[in-house]
Chain A
Amino acid sequence: MKNLTSWAIIGLTLTFLIGPFIIIIFAGASAGESLAFPPDGLSLRWYLKVFTIESFRQSFVLSMGLAIFGTLAALLLGIPAAYALNRYELPGAETIRTVVASPIIVPGIIVGLALLRYMVIPLDVTVTVALFMAHTALVLPYAVRVVSSSLNNLRSDMEEAAVLLGCTRLQAFTKVVLPNIRGGVLAAFILGFVTSFNQVPVSLFLSGPGVRTLPIDMLAYMEITYDPSVAALSALLAFMSLAIVFIAERLLGFSRYV
């Protein structure tokens, strides 16, 4: 009896959380012209149409680029910072930690607006560069946090031993530390990638002619038409994220790091 109640609660909660996603998959597979569930017959036409919409293709490439290179940049900044915060006695370590983590606290829309007003317009920086900076800043806190937690699990006497045995500090890092925190770095990359790719508010104000991230482009498309193509695209993107996370989980037990 108690078990039955448990499963009923879990079932209802999961229906609420996942049901809408299943509806999207089917709404996108409609054979009809309008968004409906249950769909008017099944077909893959909207799933295929998504690939022929030029603006979606452009914004997909932009979002991909931002997610990959923004996250890489955040790791390049974040790994040394996490290492220094973990292994060195730094004056003002708490301040540095707060500064680096600050992008997580401030709503993205404000960051986007601030960068538009005080970087893009006065300094004549292109929107693409500003987007890249914004996405890097956004991912930085995750990069530092995830890499820090895997550094915490790595005993520092291993590096000290390497240095005693004749390695330089840098060699100790590349030969001993880096191979051991590989999983954490990869987990940080995936988390950063998914965060950046799905991010909307930061990019709201940072768009220009031909420069729009994919979620923003989808929002704009939805304002014009309610056809099933956005549902189809949403489903495809969701499958992409899930595939990435699933592979990561299989390869390295991703959820340990998040």
Chain B
Amino acid sequence: MFSNTREGLALALPAAIFALLLFILPVGILLSEAFQSDAGWTLSGYTDFFSKPLNQTVFLRTLKLGVLVAGTAAVIGYAAAFSISNLSPVARGRVFGLVILPLMISPVARTYAWIVILGRTGIVNDALVGLGLAETPIRLLFTETAVFLGLLQLFMPLMIISLLSAMENIPRDVIPAARVLGANWFQVFFRVILPLTKEGLVVGGTLVFTGALTAYITPAILGGSKVLMLETLLYQQVNVSNDFVSASVIAMILIIMSFTANLLLKRIATARK
């Protein structure tokens, strides 16, 4: 540790000032915009926003998809992470590589694949018509299901990685010991595995939930204007209606939701200790 404060500040401040001026300041002004009117400070931007049925629908849908994606990712993630952690070290490394591989690929590319799968002439529709389960192709794109699948595929690796690193901390004999002492698998999961991995669940859950809330590409490509989420609604408000007050309200909602998710999950993790 060096104690020359002036030198340290000279090194650290350029980055801080850059982030402050180019990031915090503009975002702060944007957020304040919804509170301003000709008559002074107001909350009417918020009341107007939430009085519109479309906005309510989009808000609830975004929340619902966020929870569903994070919840599903947690269930699949536990099964996958538990299976992976039981592999031999070499196999574990390879499978881990395959799990993180999608994170390096452009989200545009990953989402675009779903058009090929779910489109009118896509794999699923071909199969349905071919098997005689449907007479004509059914609409799968631009549905909540499509957005859900896209988001789940996009963010699940984050959950698996978080859970895997948490599972490394489970002592190897704990689970067999619980089994020998008469616990069934249900009890093993809720009494042993879950308490020992809840920090990983919190990290993964926060990453997946906030990722799903703030994703733009997936709802834009797979949901379009039929299944708007908050980010795509924000884009539409600015580009189609030039409504910057609504944009500012949505921005605030998104930031608050990310923060709250983070805090809430942290609270849960510490409360159960």
Contact = CB atoms under 8 A, between A and B. Distances in A.
A174 B187 CA distance: 56
Contacts of B266: none
A158 interface: no
Interface in B7-25: 7-9, 11-16, 18-20, 22-25
A107 B214 contact: yes
A14 interface: yes
Contact of B108 (A35, A78, A219): A219
Contacts of B18: 77, 136-137, 140
B47 to A, nearest CB: 21
Contacts of A103: 19, 23
A200 B244 contact: no
Contact of A21 (B2, B105, B251): B105
A137 B15 CA distance: 9
A115 B27 CA distance: 8
B79 interface: yes
Interface residues of B, number: 78
A204 B12 contact: no
Interface in A77-102: 77-78, 80-81, 83-85, 87-91, 93, 96, 99-100, 102
A22 to B, nearest CB: 9
Given A10-B80, A106-B27, A99 B19 contact: yes
> Would you call the interface of chain B mostly helix, strand, loop, or mixed?
helix
B3 interface: yes
Contacts of B20: 99
A107 B234 CA distance: 12
Nearest to B79: A9
A205 interface: yes
B16 A81 contact: yes
A35 B30 CA distance: 40
B199 interface: no
Interface in A12-44: 13-14, 16-18, 20-21, 23-24, 27, 34-37
A91 B12 CA distance: 11
A88 B3 contact: yes
A140 B19 contact: yes
A137 B19 contact: yes
A176 to B, nearest CB: 14
B251 A113 contact: yes
Given A88-B4, A99-B16, A100-B16, A20 B153 contact: yes
B133 interface: no
A23 B109 CA distance: 11
Given A113-B238, A115-B26, A222 B123 contact: no
A242 B216 contact: no
A81 B18 CA distance: 11
B203 interface: no
A235 interface: yes
B220 interface: yes
Contacts of A117: 26, 29-30, 244
Contact of B83 (A9, A87, A194, A218): A9
Nearest to A163: B2
A70 to B, nearest CB: 12
Contact of A9 (B80, B152, B213): B80
B166 interface: no
Given A117-B244, A119-B26, A194-B104, A14 B112 contact: no
The 4 closest A-B pairs by CB, nearest first: A88-B8, A234-B109, A20-B113, A114-B26
Given A107-B251, A107-B258, 9 more contacts: A9-B79, A17-B101, A21-B102, A36-B121, A115-B26, A137-B23, A201-B214, A234-B106, A241-B105
8 contacts: A10-B87, A18-B102, A89-B1, A89-B8, A96-B16, A109-B231, A144-B15, A231-B116
Interface of A: 2, 5-7, 9-10, 13-14, 16-18, 20-21, 23-24, 27, 34-37, 77-78, 80-81, 83-85, 87-91, 93, 96, 99-100, 102-103, 105-111, 113-115, 117-119, 133-134, 136-137, 140, 144, 156, 169, 194, 197-198, 200-201, 204-205, 215, 218-219, 222, 226, 230-231, 234-235, 237-238, 241-242, 245, 255
